[in-house]
């Protein structure tokens, strides 16, 4: 089954996220201005907020529950904003060492009582119950949870990693890279393939 919707976008737009009920994208407008927009398929409403050039480069954006968005500005500044109230800033933090963030993953903290997927709009999931996993250009994997930043590991310094791998560069091809986190496993895409890392 399929449903058609009509959306208004600019000629130069960048898709960022889609979570079943919402689609998030960025439009390039005139005079170096850009617009961050989110369409809600359930209510047929669009949130749109214009940002100026001094807002900086936006490299990552993800839809969060409770009508919020997570974004990465200027390569390492992470922000959680409301998609209402003039794009109100809820929380912000820099990646450890201000190193460029290559990939992000957002999940629900399994130690909390929340079992819902981040897609769910019907449950109020506090930001503190979300896990933000960040992969940076130097191979660090950092996790931000409940306002606490933890450096988990560096891909080049992992226990049991083959010395041959350590000599290679993982992020030299400037591909888009991905990181996924599920319970005791991380999966990280690199130029060589996908590393699977286990917590012991």
Interacting residue ranges for other proteins, rule: CB under 8 A: 1-12, 15, 17-20, 23, 28-30, 39, 41, 96, 117, 119, 147-154, 157-162, 165, 173, 175-178, 180-183, 185-187, 189, 191-200
Report the candidate in 23, 31, 71, 70 with the shortest Cα–Cα distance to residue 47: 23
* Angle CA 90–35–122, to nearest 5: 50
Nearer to other proteins, 6 or 54 (CB): 6
Minimum separation from the CB atom of position 86 to other proteins (A): 21
Minimum separation from the CB atom of position 62 to other proteins (A): 12
| CA distances in angstroms from 115 to 28, 111, 132, 134, listed in the order given | 37, 10, 16, 22
Nearer to other proteins, 54 or 148 (CB): 148
Report the candidate in 33, 137, 149 with the shortest Cα–Cα distance to residue 91: 149
From CA 133, how far away is CA 91, in angstroms rounded?
Answer: 16
Nearer to other proteins, 7 or 124 (CB): 7
From CA 171, how far away is CA 176, in angstroms rounded?
Answer: 9
Nearer to other proteins, 83 or 188 (CB): 188
From CA 63, how far away is CA 81, in angstroms rounded?
Answer: 10
Nearer to other proteins, 15 or 56 (CB): 15
Minimum separation from the CB atom of position 147 to other proteins (A): 7
Minimum separation from the CB atom of position 107 to other proteins (A): 10
Minimum separation from the CB atom of position 102 to other proteins (A): 13
């Amino acid at each position: 089954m399929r449903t058609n919707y009509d959306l208004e976008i600019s000629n130069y737009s960048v898709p960022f996220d889609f979570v079943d009920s919402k689609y998030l994208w960025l439009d390039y407008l005139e005079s170096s201005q850009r617009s961050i927009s989110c369409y809600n398929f359930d209510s047929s409403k669009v949130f749109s907020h214009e940002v100026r050039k001094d807002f900086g480069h936006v490299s990552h954006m993800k839809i969060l529950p409770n009508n919020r968005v997570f974004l990465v500005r200027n390569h390492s500044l992470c922000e959680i904003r409301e998609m209402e109230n003039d794009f109100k800033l809820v929380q912000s933090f820099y990646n450890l060492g201000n190193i460029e963030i290559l990939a992000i993953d957002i999940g629900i903290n399994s130690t909390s009582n929340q079992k819902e997927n981040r897609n769910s709009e019907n449950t109020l999931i506090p930001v503190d119950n979300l896990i933000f996993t960040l992969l940076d250009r130097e191979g660090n994997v950092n996790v931000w949870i409940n306002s606490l930043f933890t450096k988990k590991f560096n891909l080049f310094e992992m226990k049991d990693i083959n010395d041959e791998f350590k000599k290679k560069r993982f992020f030299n091809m400037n591909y888009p890279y991905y990181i996924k986190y599920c319970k005791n496993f991380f999966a990280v895409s690199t130029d060589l393939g996908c590393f699977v890392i286990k917590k012991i």
